Every structure is written in C-alpha cells, then in structure tokens.
Amino acid sequence: MSPDKPLCLHLHVVTPRRLLVDTMVDEARIPGLEGQIGILPGHRPLMLALGRGPIVFRKGTDEETFEVEGGTAEILPDRVLVFTALPE
C-alpha cells in the first residue's frame, strides 16, 4: 500500500432536509446512472450523477444500506460527498 493512500473514506450524505451520514468508512457503493460504483480509499477524483438505488457503506464487518433517488456525488481519494433525495 502506498504511504500516500488514505486508509478510510469520510462519507457525507446530505438530503434537502438534513445531514444523513457523516462517518468514516472502509468502502462505499453508490448508484450511478449506469450502475453501481464501488469506492475505496485512494479513488481518483470523480463527479457522478446518481440514479435510483442503494447506497451501501462498510465499516469493518458492519454494513449499512439505504435507498436514494438521484442526486450528485463528488468522489475524492479521502472522502465522498453525496447530495441526494430519499424516496417517499
């Protein structure tokens, strides 16, 4: 592993009403328009339009999932910032 590669990601998920997630994770999976994208620490910078589907994130052996309906995501080597809406 490169000494410059981060060990985890800071995941922020923001909805129009509140900050939904603000935590450190080992891995995240988010729904792009063309399918699910997996994100690990050290991922190249990317802007992504989101589709409908699950956001899944893992901390150790614990995994959490929730559904979203579109939005955008900014992916950086050490963090993921998601702006989205929850299904009603």
Q: In the chain, what are the domain boundaries?
A: 9-79
Angle at 18 between CA 38 and CA 34, to 5 degrees: 30
CB contact at 8 A, 28 and 6: no
Nearby residues of 31 by Cβ (< 8 Å), 6 or more positions away: 37, 50, 51, 52, 53, 54, 55, 68
The first and second tokens of residue 2, run together, are 């490169």
CATH number of 9-79: 2.60.15.10
Per-residue pLDDT of the chain (88 residues; tens, 9 = 90+): 456 777 899 999 999 999 999 999 999 999 999 999 999 999 999 999 999 999 999 999 999 999 999 999 999 999 999 999 887 6
Q: What is the rounded CA–CA span in Å between residue 21 and residue 11?
A: 7
pTM: 0.88
